[in-house]
Amino acid sequence: MKKTFSILLAAVSVLIFGAVSADAEDVSIDTNKAVEASNGVTFSVTSRELAASQFKDDTKITVTCDGAEGDESPVKLVLNYWHSDADVNNGIGEPASAEVEASEFADGAAVFEQSAILEALGDNDLSMVYSIDVLAGDKAVTCTGFEASDVYSKADMVENDILYANWVHPRKPKETDNWGQSVSIGVDQFDTSTMTDKTWVIAQFESDLAENIPNAPVEFILQSTDDTVSPKAKNGTVWSKVSPVLYNENFALFDYADMVDAYGTDDMSCVSIVYVGDTGNGKIKCTDLYALRCKVLESDIPAEPVTSVVPAEESTVEDSAAVSSSAEVSAADATDSSNTDKEKGSVRNNLVLIIIGAVAGIAVAVLILYIVLGRKSRETYDVNSHKFIKK
């Protein structure tokens, strides 16, 4: 009896271990937009494709490249992140970067470990990383592969409230004044539904304004044209202006609570475009928009990316082939994860559910068998009464 139970328990343990292991996800990023580079960026991955906050303790990044020879890695990783500092830009902080050396290199593949990534970031959080560049050294190389092993899946991020940073780098921002809009950004680049009560939106802009300006030089605008949720909608249209809580001549920080007040509700699913515009105090040109502490939407896990509603002449997506340095790489340069990866993720999730169901069924069967065999082992058959009686 004990031997039988031990065997069944071992089988259940193996299945449970397999189910847990299957939950780990490997992500492969399409590198078809990588460029040949020396002393520059050959490829960039945005947080919308692979967020650093998805990394686990055992995560490894493997970068393969053409043109690499010898036993020394020709590339480094550059983590681009938002550095929060109370002493910088009136408490707004600033964009920063950190280099990560490869732990090993062989056969054209460089491996980067999570421990080195955390060491490079120091006290800065993984959720503040908005893009990762592959930086080439003196040798001209081209990135041909970018893979992350053992990371949290998108479903894990939803379940565990894991946040990430989003970065939009406008390709053709306008210099504007007299209450014009410098950039317009569609939901494919920045979906306001991903914002949380912890979210900050930061606009970076160029201006000729003096330091210590008395009035905010820029504003953040939420627009919807077919609105069914905001109490401020008029004929389905909302045009909500938000003033920054912190600003200087180059940065402006907007708070989520002010956005909710301006829009009239925290349900921003109808917002189709956001803008950064001037406030009539001088000329400005928005060069970057950062959305910190964003969440993954459950509806986005199986769905295809939403088509941008931004007019073609105001497109905010930067072509990765046009940039050559870490500071200039667009957050929208790297391509979306392939449909194949999504299908693999779906199959993996379904497999996990099937295994969990099988484990539950086996556990119930083991319990019933244990009860039945246990009961029978405590009884014997009486030939006189023709009944099972206790020993």
The residue type found at 325 is: S
Query: Span 31-151: which CATH code?
Result: 2.60.120.1070
What's the fold here for domain 170-317?
A: Jelly Rolls (2.60.120)
What is the chain's alpha carbon radius of gyration, rounded to the nearest angstrom? 27
One DSSP character per residue, 187-247 reads TTT--GGG--TT-EEEEEEEE-PPSS-SS-SEEEEEEESS-SS-TT-BTTBEEEEE--SEE
In angstroms, rounded to a whole number, what is the distance separating the alpha carbons of residues 239 and 96?
Answer: 33
Placement of tokens 């295809």 in the chain: 304
pLDDT tens for the chain, 391 residues long, are 444 444 444 444 434 443 433 356 999 999 999 999 999 999 999 999 999 999 999 999 999 999 877 789 999 999 999 999 888 988 999 999 999 999 999 999 999 999 999 999 999 999 999 999 999 999 999 999 999 999 999 999 999 999 999 999 998 999 999 999 999 999 999 999 999 999 999 999 999 887 778 899 999 999 999 999 999 999 999 999 999 999 999 999 999 999 999 999 999 999 999 999 999 999 999 999 999 999 999 876 544 444 434 433 443 444 333 333 443 433 334 334 444 444 445 545 556 566 776 666 676 665 665 555 555 445 444 545 544 455 4
d(CA 104, CA 154): 28
Please tell me if the domain spanning 31-151 has the same topology as the one spanning 170-317: yes
Residues in Cβ contact with 385 at an 8 Å cutoff, skipping those fewer than 6 apart: none
pTM of the complete model beyond 0.85: no
Structure-block tokens of residue 38: 């020396």
- Name the E strands within the chain: 25-29, 41-46, 55-66, 75-83, 94-100, 104-106, 109-113, 129-136, 142-151, 164-168, 181-186, 200-207, 218-224, 238-242, 246-247, 251-255, 273-278, 284-294, 379-382, 387-390
List the chain domain ranges: 1-23+349-391, 31-151, 170-317
Look at residue 12 in the predicted model and tell me its pLDDT.
Answer: 43
Given the structure tokens 């999570």, which residue do they identify? 114
Q: Token pair of 90, please? A: 């009136």
Instruction: Say how many residues make up the chain.
Output: 391
